[in-house]
Structures are given as structure tokens and as C-alpha cells.
């Protein structure tokens, strides 16, 4: 299919349909409303399920029910709504159910604002639900990358029997960009859902139970270790990142994702014109964090400058991975303020001035 | 001597030992629900939703596919299941803390949307599993571990009546309150469950049967006297009967 000009939220919704999403359950919240609005019409037209739930809490529990029955399920929301879904996300992870969650991030904490933000980094990579669980978390940069990830996420969720969260800042949700929804993606091959509670106990000859309760601590620990093995596999196989402008011996390397990475690209171009080469590590999968990217940096690198539309959340992951190898610096804007590339250029020059002293 | 089977356990329940305290009526209610689903050949294809509370382990007892829900969320979980499995029987089994307190929004909106599910609601006017705390259904002056001086209207409000509340919701189809304190009422309760599952089979929408139940351990009353206490105190405040029957409209 040729490229079409689409709004981010609508493109994600269409990508979900193309990714085989059977059912959507959601609740209105800005700036993600075009996702349920689009799906309310197109899911019905495609003989699939759309339900506007009474709350985000109910929506994620509908997701839990439908996923337990073996369906490919999606919910979408924005920051405070994702906070409300955390209980259900913990149950999904505990019961090993596949589901896809889209977070169109806005400023916080609390009701915060409705302008783009990356303040949910900790929420999506650490989660707010209880217990020892992890998510696969993606933070794409362009609409094309976003729709490809949305499409693929259903097979990833099925393969790992684990929720996948895709976090875009409000900028990506709201902007329009040409996008090809039929670009070939490599689906993760997943086994048949013989565990699902499909209401076929008699036919199957055995009851299927979807449960996160394990009252015996030794049994629960065994379950925790089983989950951990899955998370280790994710860490080994799902790290995804892009390295940018690394073959020009940069001394400073940005670490940035989502819209911030787009702005950083402009800064890289502007600095290049002034003869300053800056590289970038762009995490695409933010959890598991792409540690591997940090192993391959050129010898010229001295400083990692983390850029975020928050006051330093991914920075903590960079600190963990860095282990004292490089000098760390940070630039961030928060509250829904989208920085200009000039601010990043200035920050680079300030660092260089400091280094020259 | 020829043997004749006059009674056997229902195939609607598994052979697992129930985890309920001695003397509480969960066992009777499980048996009735299991029987009704087995007699109607629903148990083979049913999907049940266990809630949080005393009946949290009900996924081990009903002889069908089961899913365990978070506290209060069973009607939302059942909604998700029923929407993707509309040809299957879907039911929830919930207590009064779960349904009338933390899950009030979910039950009202499941009824409101007219979800074609059956809710088995067990009301013993107390939180049993957590050790006998006050529920929204606890009677005025009833002593619990969080209302040691008795529930007071000021501050704690008057007990919520769920059948009456849901009867005001346009989407609800069938609502009945029953009791299982004696054989006559047990038979009547079974008829109510039959009706509720038939409503679902005929795709007539949301049905809920509320069971007046007992909690001898947390009430501090022996099992036999508990039944009488329910008759003397709960039933007067929670009158038995059909609160809504929308199937009559459907047939016209």
C-alpha cells in the first residue's frame, strides 16, 4: 500500500486492526481520544469488538477477561489513565496473559496537563502495579516506526504471554505524517493458546484456569522464577535501538527516545554544520533497556548526554548501564514543554566549553 | 441386592474440598449453581469468573474453565470474556464486599450495558475472608471488627440494597433475591438460578441472583443460629423476591 497521511492516534488504531486485534476496551482521555474514536467505527466494520468501559480500571479488566479467553486485545489511554490500569496490568503479567497497551503520554504528576511529555518513563519501564513483574515497553520515534511496532506487538505479547506497552508522547499521537500501514514486519511466531479459558473444558478434557493467586510461598516463588526466565529471554532478544552518527568520532553522544530523539536529530544536523560531530543512542525498546548499545560506542566518546521530556527518568537507566565509563550529563524539559533543537545545541556547546577548561 | 442411586454429587462441581468455614452457606450455593449448569449442559461450555473474598478459590470448585478476577472487577472481566465468547455461558460469583463496595461501578455498568452474563451474588453482610470487617451491607448496629460498637448510620450510612439499586438500571433484565436457610427456600433459590441462566441462554441480557447467606465465624453465632439470625435480621431488611423481570417485555 502507498503511504497515507494520517494522524498518529488514528494510524495506531488502524495498525492494531492490521495487527489482528480482536477486541478493544478503553475510556476517553486526552490526548489519545482518536484511538477509541477511530476504533469505535472500524472495529465494528471489521466484525471485531469495541467497548467503551465505565473507567480505565474496568477497561483493563475487560482486557484481562478477553485476553484470558485467547483474544488479541488492545487498550489505550494517557498517563493518569495508565496509572489507573496498573492493577490490571499486574494481574495480566501475573496470569501470563498477552495484551497490548498504548500510552499517549501527557504531563504530570496528578492531572498534570495535556501537552506532550515523557514523564511516564518510570511508569512504563518499572510499572506501578504490585509484584515482581516486567513489561516489554516500546517508545517509537516516527509514525512509521509506531505502526510497525503496534502491528508486531500482538505477536510479541502472544509469544511471551506478557503485556506489551507502547508509549508515545502526545506529539506523536497528535501529529500527521505519511505512513505505510502495510510495510512488512517480522511477526514473532507464537504457539497455540492451549492455556486459554475458552469455555471448552469438556471438549479439551481438562479445565483451564486463569489465575494469579499462589498461596503457597514456594509455589509463588517458582512462578516468579518462571516469569524471571521469560524476562531474561526478553532482555537477551528484544533489545532494540538505533545508533546515529557514530562513524564520525563523536565525543558527545545523546541518549534520547521518541519525540526528543527527533529534536535531537535536528540538533545533530545543526552542530554538524558547525563542524561538531555528536552521536546518538536511540532506545526503541526502553524496557528491557538496550544495554547492548552502550557496548559498541566508538573510542572517541567521552560524554553521554541524556535528553528527555522529563526531569531525568531514563537517566537512571543510563547511570546503571554506564557503570562509570563515561561522563554523564542531562538536559530535560518537563510539564509538556517541547524543547527547541537550539536549546540542545546550546547545551552541547556548554559541555564542550567545560571540557576545554 | 440391587442398588439404586438416589443421590450423587453434581458434575457441575469438581471433587476438590471446599475451603469455606463450617456452617456457612457458600457450599449450598455452589451446589445449586453447579447443579443448574450441569442439568442444562452449560457446565461443559461455561466460563466462570471468581472474585476476591471467601470465594476467591471458586475457580477450583466449578467444573468449567475459570478466570480469577481482581477485587470487585469480576463483572468487567466477565464483560471481556462474554464479548469475545458470546456463545458461551459466562457467570461471576461474588460476595458483598466485592460486589457492593469495591466493585460497585463494575456491577452497575455491566447491568447498565445489559451484558448477557449471570451474576451470583452472595450477601452475608460482612467481609468474611479478611476477618469480619464492616461491609456496605452490614446492618445498622451490627458489630464487626471495624464497627465494634455496631454500625452507625452517621458516618457509615445505611446498608446498600443491591437488587433494589440495580432494579433502577434500565439495562438489567432479571434480578431476584433468595435465601438458602431451609429446604423450601433452597428449592426456590434453585428455580431462581435456573431462570437466571435461562435468561442468558436466551440472550435476554443481564441477570443477578442475590443470596442471603451466613457467616457464623465472623458473626460469632453458631451455624444453626446463624440461619435463624439471617431470617430474623437480614431478610426483613433485604426482602426476598423478584426485583425485576424484563423477560416479560421481551416476549411481547
Rounded CA-CA distance A275/A297 in Å is 20
Are A268 and A216 found together in one domain? Answer: no
Q: What is the rounded CA–CA span in Å between residue A99 and residue B9?
A: 38
Does residue A10 sit in the same domain as residue A126? yes
**Same domain (yes/no): A45, A155:** yes
SS3 call for A352: helix
Q: Where are the alpha helices (DSSP H) in A188-257?
A: 201-204, 217-237
Is residue B190 in a domain? yes
* A228 and A247 housed in the same domain: no
User: Taking CB atoms and an 8 Å limit, are A207 and B80 in contact across chains?
Assistant: no
B59 with A95: Cβ contact below 8 A: no
Whether B56 has its CB under 8 Å from any CB of chain A: the answer is yes
Same domain, A265 and A214: no
What is the average pLDDT score of chain B? 97
pLDDT in tens, B138-156: 999 999 999 999 999 999 9
Provide mean pLDDT across the span A40-51.
Answer: 98
- A67 touching B (Cβ < 8 Å): yes
Q: What pLDDT is recorded for position B1?
A: 76
Task: Give CA angle at A168 (A289, A302), nearest 5°.
Answer: 40
User: Phi and psi for A298 in degrees, rounded to 5?
Assistant: -65, 160
A50 and A97 co-located in one domain = yes
> Does the structure show a pLDDT above 90 at B126?
yes
| Residue A24 sits at the chain B interface (C-beta within 8 Å) | no
pLDDT in tens, A307-331: 999 999 999 999 999 999 999 999 9
Q: For residue A302, is pLDDT > 70?
A: yes
3-state secondary structure of A99: strand
Residues A233, A247, single domain; the answer is no
Residue labelled with grid coordinates 442439568: B39
In chain B, pLDDT over 90 holds for what percent of residues?
97
Contact state of A61 with B85 under an 8 Å Cβ cutoff: no
A23, A138: one domain: yes
CB A174 within 8 A of CB A8: yes
How close, in Å, is residue A48 to chain B by CA atoms? 9
CA distance linking residue A145 with residue A180, whole number of Å: 10
Give the chain A residue whose CA is nearest to the CA of B89. Answer: A199
pLDDT higher than threshold 80 for residue A357: no
Q: Tell me the CATH number at A341.
A: 3.40.50.920
> What is the pLDDT, as a whole number, of residue A344?
98
Q: List the Cα angle A46/A48/A51 in 5-degree steps.
A: 125
Are B124 and B81 in contact by the 8 Å Cβ rule? The answer is no
Interface predicted TM-score (ipTM) over 0.90: yes
Q: Are residues A12 and A97 in the same domain?
A: yes
Phi and psi, residue B248, nearest 5°: -65, -40
Q: Write out pLDDT tens, residues A252-270.
A: 999 999 999 999 999 999 9
CATH of the domain at B175: 3.40.50.970
Helix (H) or strand (E) run with residue A252 in it:
strand A252-255
Q: H or E element: which one contains A242?
A: strand A241-244
A198 found inside a domain: no
Please state, in angstroms and rounded to a whole number, the distance separating the CA atoms of residues B180 and A220: 36
Query: Could you say which residues from 57 to 76 on chain B have a Cβ atom under 8 Å away from some Cβ of chain A?
Result: 57, 59-60, 63-70, 73, 76
Are A266 and A289 members of one domain?
Answer: yes
Flag whether pLDDT at B62 surpasses 50: yes
Could you tell me how many helices (H) and strands (E) chain A has, helices first? 12, 15
Task: Tell me the backbone φ, ψ of residue B47, rounded to 5 degrees.
Answer: -125, 120
Say if residue A92's pLDDT is above 60. yes
CATH number, domain of A99, equals 3.40.50.970
- Answer for the pair A201, B65: CB distance below 8 angstroms, yes or no: yes
Of A284, A324, A275, whose CA–CA distance to A304 is shortest? A324
**Element at A136 (helix H, strand E):** strand A136-138
Segment (H or E) for B28? helix B26-39
Q: Say if A326 falls within a structural domain.
A: yes
Please give the C-alpha separations between residue A17 and each of A39, A45, B115, in angstroms, as whole numbers. Answer: 8, 11, 24
> Band of the pLDDT at B2, cuts 50, 70, 90?
confident
Per-residue buried b or exposed e for A234-271, using 16+ beta carbons within 10 Å of the residue's own CB: bbeebbbbebbbbeeebbbbbbbbbbbbbbbbebbebb
Mutation target among A51, A66, A69, A98 for the B interface, most CBs of B within 10 A: A69
C-alpha B175/C-alpha B208 separation (Å) is: 5
Look at residue B249 and tell me if it is in a domain.
no
Task: Report percent pLDDT > 90 for chain A.
Answer: 96
Segment A5-27, tens digit of pLDDT = 999 999 999 999 999 999 999 99
Cβ neighbours of B49 in A, within 8 Å: 65
Q: CA A200: distance to chain centroid?
A: 34
Is the per-residue pLDDT at B204 higher than 70? yes
Residues of A in contact with B44 (CB under 8 A): 201-203
pLDDT digits 0-9 by tens, A93-146: 999 999 999 999 999 999 999 999 999 999 999 988 999 999 999 999 999 999
| Residues of chain A found within 8 Å of residue B64, distances taken between Cβ atoms | 199, 201, 207
Q: How many Å apart are CA A157 and CA A71, to the nearest integer?
A: 11
Chain B touched by A62 (CB under 8 Å) = yes
What is the rounded average pLDDT of the residues B10-35? 97
First to last CA, chain B: 54
Render pLDDT for A332-350 as a digit per residue (tens, 0 to 9).
999 999 999 999 999 999 9
- Which cell goes with A12? 495506531
pLDDT at residue B252 is higher than 50: no
C-alpha B245: how far from chain center: 18
Which residue's entry shows cell 477497561?
A59
Count of domains observed in chain B: 1
Q: Is A244 helix (H, G, I), strand (E, B) or coil?
A: strand
Range of the domain at B59: 26-244
Place of cell 516463588: A221
Decide if A55 is inside a domain: yes
- Does B44 sit within 8 Å of A65, measured CB to CB? no
Q: What is the DSSP string of B81-115?
A: HHHH-TTS-EEEEEEHHIIIIITHHHHHHHHHTT-
Q: What is the mean pLDDT of residues B213-220?
A: 97
Let me know whether A52 and A186 are in one domain: yes
CA A316 vs. chain centroid, Å, equals: 17
- Our CA dihedral for A264, A269, A270, A274, rounded to 10 degrees, sits at 130
Chain A CB contacts of B67 under 8 Å are 64-65, 68, 95, 197, 209-211
Structure confidence at residue A1 as a pLDDT band (50, 70, 90): low
Q: What is the pLDDT of residue A355?
A: 79
Shortest alpha-carbon distance between residue B82 and chain A (Å): 8
Tell whether A28 and A61 lie within a shared domain.
yes
DSSP letter string over A31-52? T-THHHHHHHHHHHHTT-EEEE
Q: What is the CA B236 to chain-centroid distance, rounded?
A: 19
Residue B250 is predicted with a pLDDT of 52
**Interface residue A203 vs chain B (CB under 8 A):** yes
Query: How many structural domains comprise chain A?
Result: 2
- Write the pLDDT tens digit of every residue in A193-250: 999 999 999 999 999 999 999 999 999 999 999 999 999 999 999 999 999 999 999 9
Q: Once rounded to an integer, what is the mean pLDDT over residues B5-31?
A: 96
DSSP assignment of B223-250: HHHHHHHIIIIIHHHS--EEEEETHHHH
H-helix or E-strand spanning residue A316: helix A314-322
Distance from the Cα of residue A83 to its chain's centroid: 15
Residue A246 C-alpha cell reads as 557514530
Which residues constitute the domain of residue A252? 241-356
Does residue A125 form part of some domain?
yes
Amino acid at each position: 500500500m502507498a503511504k497515507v497521511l494520517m494522524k498518529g492516534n488514528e494510524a495506531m488504531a488502524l495498525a492494531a486492526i492490521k495487527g489482528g486485534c480482536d477486541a478493544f476496551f478503553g475510556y476517553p482521555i486526552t490526548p489519545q481520544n482518536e484511538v477509541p474514536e477511530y476504533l469505535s467505527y472500524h472495529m465494528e466494520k471489521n466484525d471485531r469488538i469495541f467497548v467503551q468501559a465505565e473507567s480505565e480500571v474496568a477497561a483493563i479488566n475487560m482486557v484481562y477477561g478477553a485476553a484470558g479467553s485467547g483474544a488479541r486485545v488492545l487498550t489505550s489511554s494517557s498517563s493518569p489513565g495508565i496509572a489507573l490500569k496498573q492493577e490490571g496490568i499486574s494481574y495480566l503479567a501475573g496470569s501470563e496473559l498477552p495484551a497490548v497497551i498504548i500510552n499517549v503520554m501527557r504531563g504530570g504528576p496528578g492531572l498534570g496537563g495535556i501537552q506532550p511529555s515523557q514523564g511516564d518513563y518510570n511508569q512504563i519501564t518499572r510499572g506501578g502495579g504490585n509484584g515482581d513483574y516486567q513489561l516489554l515497553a516500546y517508545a517509537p520515534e516516527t509514525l512509521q516506526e509506531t505502526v510497525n511496532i503496534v502491528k508486531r506487538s500482538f505477536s510479541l505479547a502472544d509469544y511471551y504471554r506478557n503485556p506489551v506497552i507502547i508509549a508515545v508522547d502526545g506529539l506523536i499521537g497528535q501529529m500527521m505524517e505519511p505512513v505505510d500501514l502495510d510495510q512488512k514486519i517480522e511477526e514473532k511466531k507464537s504457539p497455540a493458546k492451549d492455556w486459554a479459558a475458552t469455555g471448552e473444558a469438556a471438549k479439551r478434557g481438562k479445565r483451564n484456569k486463569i489465575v494469579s493467586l499462589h498461596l503457597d510461598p514456594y509455589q509463588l516463588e517458582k512462578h516468579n522464577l518462571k516469569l524471571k526466565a521469560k524476562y531474561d529471554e526478553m532482555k537477551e532478544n528484544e533489545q532494540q535501538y538505533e545508533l546515529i552518527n557514530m562513524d564520525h568520532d563523536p565525543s558527545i553522544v545523546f541518549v534520547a527516545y521518541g519525540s526528543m530523539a527527533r529534536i535531537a536529530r535536528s540538533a545533530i544536523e545543526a552542530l554538524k554544520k558547525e563542524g561538531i560531530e555528536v552521536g546518538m543512542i536511540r532506545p526503541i525498546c526502553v524496557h528491557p533497556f538496550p544495554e547492548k548499545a552502550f557496548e559498541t560506542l566508538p573510542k572517541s566518546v567521552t560524554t553521554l548526554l541524556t535528553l528527555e521530556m522529563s526531569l531525568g527518568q531514563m537517566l537512571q537507566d543510563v547511570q546503571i548501564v554506564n557503570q562509570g565509563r563515561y561522563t554523564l550529563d542531562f538536559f530535560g524539559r518537563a510539564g509538556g514543554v517541547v524543547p527547541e533543537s537550539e536549546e540542545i545545541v546550546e547545551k552541547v556547546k556548554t559541555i564542550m566549553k567545560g571540557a576545554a577548561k | 441386592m440391587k442398588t439404586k442411586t438416589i443421590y450423587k454429587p453434581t458434575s457441575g462441581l469438581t471433587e476438590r474440598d471446599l475451603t469455606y468455614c463450617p456452617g456457612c452457606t457458600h457450599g449450598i450455593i455452589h451446589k445449586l449453581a453447579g447443579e443448574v449448569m450441569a442439568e442444562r449442559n452449560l457446565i461443559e461450555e461455561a466460563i466462570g469468573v471468581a472474585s476476591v473474598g471467601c470465594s476467591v478459590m471458586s475457580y477450583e470448585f466449578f467444573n468449567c474453565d475459570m478466570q480469577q478476577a481482581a477485587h470487585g472487577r469480576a463483572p468487567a472481566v466477565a464483560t471481556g470474556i462474554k464479548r469475545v465468547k458470546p456463545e458461551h455461558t459466562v457467570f461471576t460469583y461474588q460476595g458483598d464486599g466485592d460486589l457492593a463496595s469495591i466493585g460497585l461501578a463494575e456491577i452497575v455498568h455491566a447491568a447498565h450495558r445489559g451484558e448477557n452474563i449471570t451474576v451470583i451474588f452472595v450477601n452475608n453482610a460482612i467481609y468474611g475472608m479478611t476477618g469480619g470487617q464492616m461491609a456496605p451491607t452490614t446492618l445498622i448496629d451490627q458489630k464487626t471488627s471495624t464497627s465494634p460498637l455496631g454500625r452507625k448510620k452517621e458516618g457509615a450510612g445505611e446498608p446498600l440494597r443491591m437488587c433494589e439499586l440495580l432494579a433502577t438500571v434500565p439495562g438489567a433484565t432479571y434480578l431476584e433475591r433468595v435465601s438458602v436457610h431451609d429446604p423450601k427456600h433452597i428449592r426456590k433459590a434453585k428455580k431462581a438460578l435456573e431462570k437466571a441462566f435461562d435468561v442468558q441462554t436466551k440472550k435476554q441480557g443481564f441477570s443477578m441472583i442475590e443470596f442471603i447467606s451466613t457467616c457464623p465465624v465472623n458473626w460469632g453465632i453458631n451455624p444453626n443460629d446463624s440461619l435463624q439470625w439471617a431470617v430474623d435480621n437480614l431478610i426483613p431488611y433485604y426482602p426476598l423476591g423478584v426485583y425485576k423481570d424484563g423477560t416479560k417485555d421481551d416476549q411481547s
